[in-house]
Structure 1
Amino acid sequence: MEYWRRSVDRELDELCPLAPAIALDGPKGVGKTATALRRARRVWSLDDPSERGVLEADPRLITQSEGPVLVDEWQRLPPVWDVVRRHVDAGAPPGRYLLTGSATPVAGTDTHSGAGRVLSLRMRPMALHERRRATPTVSLAALLAGSALVEGTTELRLADYLTAVEESGFPAIRSAPPRLRRSLLDSYLQRVVDRDLPDHGFAVRRPETLRRWLQAYAAASSTTASYSRLLDATTAGDGAQPAKTTTIAYRDHLTSLWLLDPVPGWSPRRGGLARLQQAPKHQLADPALAARLLGLSAESLTAPRGAAMAGPLFESLATLSVRVAAQSAESRVGHLRTGNGDHEIDMVVEGPDGQVVAIEVKLSATVADHDVRHLRWLRDQHPDVVDCVVLTTGATAYRRRDGVAVVPLALLGD
């Protein structure tokens, strides 16, 4: 399959000549191995029992090959992490190691965090701007710099965005025919229950309960619904409800597998705003997983049965795209909700120097004054806001008279 360059490639271009060891973290299937393979001279694949057995006997063998050395699925043999860390301490040159992992190490191991030695980069499923559906014309980095040109047109419409939700951002899955793609997504979710969680030290005693909890989480996409509400939604038809401690374990272990990707509440670095809620906004790693858990397709999202989820899943797609672009711009993403609920903003991107871009997501081609009231409020309240944006399903990017940028999601890039 042809390799499509990702936003993280730009980060690797900049960082590999500087950092001795870089870890690509993210859920299975996002393309970590394919990205790292393009840069590696020696590869250790630790999902291969024979190669893992060799390193179990002597993990220091990874130091004896000319770099860059790729250690794929390193979490299957955590001692290699410490070997890398010690080699970095001993003066390993820049670009020496690439490590890929789809889970954090099992609790109880004595692996060092690697802080200050191993640089971690998050790799998510493909953002919309990485899928070559349109040519982005509005740069998030330029928005953060306060110098963005807001222009361009796209032929993508609502149906295209809902198809993008359904097809997923997992490279090997999105390229499959629809019938196969649905089966691959089902298998992906089943494998999490049957293999990935047990391999991570968590035995799933009641798979059907975990699946109900995942469905409840998917139904809460793009909301700050409390975990107690998710627990209530997990109740079976016979009234049986899992224990709270069980669902907390679900959340923690699924997060360690990078399957859950909640958006934290935003706290401005420089203060200036009081009484902001910190409850996370729920997101799965890929909106296609949420759609599949709920039995929704692009077609059913426009029908009465699924229409209520069209907006939240479009926001999930937008959130994925913004987060990928924001990471490339060395920025963090949160959401804003005041304590009394008077003001909400879907995403707040804060740049490395504290500059802020506030973003609303609207499942519509048109934007009215009512849709930008929270953005204008934040701009008036916080001096570091350099731009405000509404992401839409429309055709044209433009600036309103009040300065708010209206940008079709397909035109937003890194």
Structure 2
Amino acid sequence: MSYKKRLSDKELMRKLDASGAVLVRGPKACGKTESAKQIAKSILSVDRDEQVPLLMSTAPRRLLLGDTPRLIDEWQVQPKLWDYIRHEIDDRKKTAQFILTGSANPEESVKMHSGAGRFTIVDMRTMSWQELGFSSGKVSLEKLFEGQKIDIYDEPTDLEFIIEKIIIGGFPAHLGKKINQATDVNRAYMELLAEVDMSRISGVKRDPAKVRSLLCSLARNTGTLVEISTLEKDIRQKENNDISRPTIYDYLDALNRLMIVEDQPAWNTHIRSSASLRKSPKRHFTDVSLAVSALGLDKKTLLNDLNFAGILFESLVTHELRVYGQVNDAKVYHYRDSSGLEVDSIVQKHNGDWCAFEIKLGILQIEAAAATLQKFVSVLDYKKMNPPKSLNIITGTGISYTRNDGINVISLASLGA
């Protein structure tokens, strides 16, 4: 299969030209190595080359010899490579020397120099709808930051299509796969995560049954401000399993290092009301299909439970906004205050510009979403912050247009970078 271009490719090239090495981070099978191979001139597979352990103890710098940029794949298996690469960059005094790819972050106990000034970072996720060809990309996040109004017609997306794509997910290996094939692969991904990866990540044996119970609880609570105590209670009641809070913290740390779960931080802003801002993050799986797989759900089940399907859709859209936001030098947050006012996603650039998004699977929720956005902007303190560049409602099944009140309604099948 020929390489399918990724939105992160340009960022990888740009950062490689600016630094001695680029660290490409992302979950297993999201396409890191394949993207890096498109520009690498030589490759070292740290987890597969049998000579690596021997050379690490005798002549580690020999592992860095080769045409540049040299890809060091799964570098975290030998975390000491980081410092050897750092010193090599200092000695060579050139850019575009190394690309490091890995599907796990090293333990904090591993002492490494930060690499500041030598390394840049590219975060990769599974494929977005624009990359997969499910979205036309006619409504770009870039233009939403410019306040551009929408007058675009794409064919409305069928609900069954959306559910199918939630189940299949965005892993590159699923391109062209049918729903039952992708389901089998996703289930195997989660089984290997529980039985192998969670113990291999730090050489600490973790109980696969307890890992599965935690994954199921995280899936039931995906995209929510769930507390550790809630997870503990949910696992006891729904999974008939007892996991202590310290164990939950440990397992969550491992899942974060494996980049299986990704937090959506709370937005830190200024409000005029007496309400206080909530600081807890929302938790999402790196790909919404993993939440589906953890719970063993299928298409029929989700079509019969549109409330939960809507929660999964919100998680999918959060993923999309992260991919498109990264292209636009922006990150994704959420807003919630003590009065209960909540906005699903805030996308903010490093320069402070921001857009707000409500996410609704069906068009019947558009009016309520618009009312939420209007109330939200009314409580902000514009003496201390800039107003939004745009207010938006992302839907699953409708068309894209700008309402009379200036709020954009955007089909996910039209949204792009």
Tell me which interval the TM-score lies in, with the shorter structure as reference length: over 0.9
1 CA distance for matches of 2:169 and 2:3?
Answer: 17
1:154 Cα shift?
Answer: 2.9
1:151 lines up with 2:149 in the alignment? no
- Equivalent position amino acid for 1:327 in 2: Q
CA contact (8 A) 2:213 2:239 kept: no
> CA offsets, 1:265-323, max 9 Å, x none?
1113xx456721111112011110101111112332111xx433101111111011000
Deviates more, 1:218-227 or 1:364-373: 364-373
2 CA distance for matches of 1:249 and 1:41?
Answer: 39
2 CA distance for matches of 1:150 and 1:358?
Answer: 19
2 CA distance for matches of 1:55 and 1:156?
Answer: 54
CA contact (8 A) 2:16 2:120 kept: no
1 CA distance for matches of 2:55 and 2:322?
Answer: 35
CA contact (8 A) 1:400 1:406 kept: yes
2 CA distance for matches of 1:20 and 1:58?
Answer: 21
Deviates more, 1:139-148 or 1:214-223: 139-148
1:328 is aligned to 327
1:238 Cα shift?
Answer: 9.2
2 CA distance for matches of 1:149 and 1:92?
Answer: 48
**Cα distance 1:69–1:345, how it changes in 2: closer, same or farther (>3 A)?**
same
1:117 Cα shift?
Answer: 2.2
1:25 is aligned to 25
1:45 is aligned to 45
CA contact (8 A) 1:354 1:384 kept: no
Question: Within 5 Å, which residues of 2 pair with 1:8-407?
Answer: 8-53=8-53, 55-56=55-56, 57-147=58-148, 149-201=150-202, 203-235=204-236, 240-268=241-269, 271-272=270-271, 275-303=276-304, 306-341=305-340, 343-366=341-364, 368-380=366-378, 381=380, 382=382, 383-407=386-410
> CA offsets, 1:310-362, max 9 Å, x none?
01111111011000000111111100001231x10000000121011000100
- Equivalent position amino acid for 1:129 in 2: Q
**Cα distance 1:386–1:266, how it changes in 2: closer, same or farther (>3 A)?**
same
1 CA distance for matches of 2:245 and 2:156?
Answer: 47
1:62 Cα shift?
Answer: 4.1
- 3-state DSSP of counterpart to 1:145: coil
1:103 Cα shift?
Answer: 0.6
- Equivalent position amino acid for 1:308 in 2: N
- Equivalent position amino acid for 2:139 in 1: V
**Cα distance 1:236–1:402, how it changes in 2: closer, same or farther (>3 A)?**
closer
1 CA distance for matches of 2:277 and 2:160?
Answer: 35
2:416 is aligned to 413
Deviates more, 1:315-324 or 1:139-148: 139-148
1 CA distance for matches of 2:150 and 2:68?
Answer: 41
2 CA distance for matches of 1:40 and 1:172?
Answer: 21
Q: Which runs of 5+ in 1 are unaligned?
A: none
2 CA distance for matches of 1:255 and 1:248?
Answer: 10
Superposed CA RMSD: 2.0
1:378 Cα shift?
Answer: 3.3
2 CA distance for matches of 1:367 and 1:201?
Answer: 45
CA contact (8 A) 1:154 1:408 kept: no
2 CA distance for matches of 1:205 and 1:54?
Answer: 29
CA contact (8 A) 1:152 1:397 kept: yes
2 CA distance for matches of 1:38 and 1:235?
Answer: 47
- 3-state DSSP of counterpart to 1:357: strand
1:258 Cα shift?
Answer: 0.2
2 CA distance for matches of 1:242 and 1:202?
Answer: 20
- 3-state DSSP of counterpart to 1:222: coil
Aligned length: 409
Q: Which runs of 5+ in 2 are unaligned?
A: none
Deviates more, 1:13-22 or 1:343-352: 13-22
CA contact (8 A) 1:45 1:51 kept: no
CA contact (8 A) 2:145 2:353 kept: yes
- 3-state DSSP of counterpart to 1:299: helix
- Equivalent position amino acid for 1:76 in 2: V
